[in-house]
């Protein structure tokens, strides 16, 4: 199983906390992430994460290509619907790809907690 982790700037701390709380589960799967999100999680956990470019440099598009290539099994993208910035990853393209390829996607902590237990 391969899980992608992405977070808008104001949601990175929440993603780090999510990763800490679910480190035991996440350590059993392959993890990929956009650059900054992956780096921050690795700095705060013992998780090994393959990091793509940061969101503004196309990391979300690299993950999108993996979804289209059937190389991602789940996406956890903590988005900031109120104050996301123009340089941050565009979730609409990833949501569309997840729907097309039937990939589960969580956009908030409540949904992430539910779907992560599906791989426990």
> Tens-digit pLDDT profile for the chain (120 aa)?
999 999 999 999 999 999 999 999 999 999 999 999 999 999 999 999 999 999 888 999 999 999 999 999 999 999 987 776 666 666 888 999 999 999 999 999 999 999 999 887
Q: Which positions ≥6 away from 89 have C-beta within 8 Å?
A: 6, 8, 34, 55, 56, 59, 60, 77
Q: Record the tokens describing residue 32, joined without a space.
A: 């990929």
User: How high is the pLDDT of residue 119?
Assistant: 87
Binding residues for substrate: 8, 12, 34-37, 54-55, 87
Binding residues: 8, 12, 34-37, 54-55, 87
d(CA 15, CA 23): 11
User: How high is the pLDDT of residue 83?
Assistant: 73
**Which candidate in 9, 48, 60, 90 is catalytic?**
60
Boundaries of every domain in the chain: 2-79+108-119
User: How high is the pLDDT of residue 82?
Assistant: 78
User: How high is the pLDDT of residue 24?
Assistant: 96
Instruction: Identify the CATH homologous superfamily for domain 2-79+108-119.
Output: Methylglyoxal synthase-like domain (3.40.50.1380)
Q: Is 60 a catalytic residue?
A: yes
d(CA 27, CA 110): 20
User: How high is the pLDDT of residue 90?
Assistant: 67
């Amino acid at each position: 199983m391969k899980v992608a982790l992405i977070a808008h700037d104001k949601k990175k701390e929440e993603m780090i906390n999510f990763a800490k709380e679910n480190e035991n589960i996440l350590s059993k799967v392959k993890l990929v992430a956009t650059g900054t999100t992956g780096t921050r999680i690795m700095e705060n956990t013992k998780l090994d994460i393959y990091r793509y470019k940061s969101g503004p440099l196309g990391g979300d598009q690299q993950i999108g290509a993996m979804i289209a290539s059937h190389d991602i099994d789940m996406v956890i993208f903590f988005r900031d619907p109120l104050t996301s910035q123009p340089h941050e990853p565009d979730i609409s393209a990833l949501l569309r790809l997840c729907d097309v390829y039937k990939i589960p996607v969580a956009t908030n902590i409540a949904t992430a907690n539910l779907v992560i237990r599906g791989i426990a």
